[in-house]
Structure 1
Amino acid sequence: MPTLLARLEAAAQLDRIADVVRRLAQATAGRGRLGDVLHGRTIGHPLHPAVVQFPVGAWMSTAVLDALPGRDTPGSRRAAATLLAAGTAGAVPAAVTGLADYATLSPQQRRVALVHAAANVTALGCFVASLAARARGDHRRGRALSFAGLGVAGAGAYLGGHLAFALGAGANHAAAALPLVPSGWHRLDAVSAIAEGKLSAYTVGETPVVVYRDHDRFSALVGRCAHLSGPLAEGRTVDVGGEACVECPWHGSVFRLADGRALRGPASSDQTALRTRVRDGQLEVAQP
């Protein structure tokens, strides 16, 4: 299986379709306030993995009822059909949130996500066909289609797990860089050498750090964007509601420099901030 996944990640022939889907995602669900909601910025982590629990749970419950000895009683048939319909309806918000996340994936991630989405669309087709068969009274065929759909959805879920855990889609990349900051306080630079109102780039251990000076106040953020490790030091400072912020140069996530708060997506997590202090005219930083 790892070999097959590696081949899928490297399947450049999928890029033509993947790029079309990305443009569709960017045009419909990947930007603005709606995009922030769909990415999960308002709850502090990606929304898609949470939303998919409802349809998957409903479909699995349908399979349990379809496998029980009393599956052919009118009550069991109604319950199974109701759960199946609820899960199918719940697939709509799951698909929309997934489409929003797709808009900013890397090429390697998009290839896997494309097959993940194709599997889920196929599964959804099986569930819709199952509902139609049950409505006609062909419950045996309806059950068979539901089991087939659940199997295909399981394959799609496997690819989704690979996206999240092996390829880091949706992960907080800034938090992953924090353990590379050695413990204790670390001297960065003389206060007099740090320009006011501009981004200054440093490295602590193996972790890039972005420093911002506002008169005598200093803030320091991990320099890898929480979304996909974009170089924040190469971004630009922007004003949002009177607050100085940094905009990631890769996908446009905006973080408040004072504390790393994510104000605009696609990043759903806040940017990790370090503690700062001034000792003997030198700016020092430490882990939170």
Structure 2
Amino acid sequence: MLIRVKWGGVKRFYNRRWKRLGIPLLVWNVLYMIMYFLSAYHNDKKLESLPELIEKFALFEYNGFMWFFVPLIMIYLSLPFFAVFILNSNRNLLRLFLIIGLFLGCIPPLDTDFTIREGLGNIYLMGSRFFYFIVAGYYVGHFDISVKTRRMIYTCSLICMLIMFCGTMLLTLYMPEHYRYFITYTNIPCIVSAIGVFTFFRYNDWNKLLNNLKLNKERLAYFSSFSLGIYLIQGAWFTILGFFHICDEHIIIKFFVMYALCVGSVWVMKHIPTVKRMVS
């Protein structure tokens, strides 16, 4: 039986996402654009043409930390349509999608001279960018996975996470000029790590874990609500720390300082009625 997606549900989905994400993104994008103009004026830098400035605004390039909001918005816009495929597919078809996607994710690193990629369009899976993770999340959340398969997934995920962590840390600290070579060819480790996380969340008793950590669901949800604000505000703090050359020689310490400043800023803004919509 064909499962249909009703227009009323689609409209509510878009409205919720716009209120939750659209307004904060628009406000912060304007703020970062103003910061860019002020910086260009202060440094006597010539501005790009109007079409280039519009493109930077549309792609959130005034704040590099916001790059992933572009595919996230595309996912939100496309999800009601993509859901028709997912909800009307059986387990075998979704598994085939995941297998083919994982295989195709190997092609860009193989068919290359291992130089820095100028664009990201050729490294996403199945030509559908991050849709792969939607299918993977749905698959793990709706179909049982055997203990043996889970162990294999966890083992592969830990290996991939170790590769990502060590590669990122070592290259960032000791060979930053080569970091982009590494990060643009990590399709498979990212995919396998995500599948491992999906599986781990599905098959663990989080109520027991939260009780051991003396946390309840409400408090955890409150802490989780900081994530959007941190992503949006970290570009500002990164600029400020760079301007005053704070912890320039200690990257790890600088990260923790910036993170603490982001968390503190978001906490303060959440308690100011006129600006809390910007971070929540």
Question: TM-score, structure 1 length as denominator?
Answer: 0.25
Normalized per residue, the structure richer in helix is 2
Normalized per residue, the structure richer in strand is 1
Higher relative contact order (CA 8 A, sep 6+): 2
Structure showing greater radius of gyration is: 1
Question: TM-score, structure 2 length as denominator?
Answer: 0.25
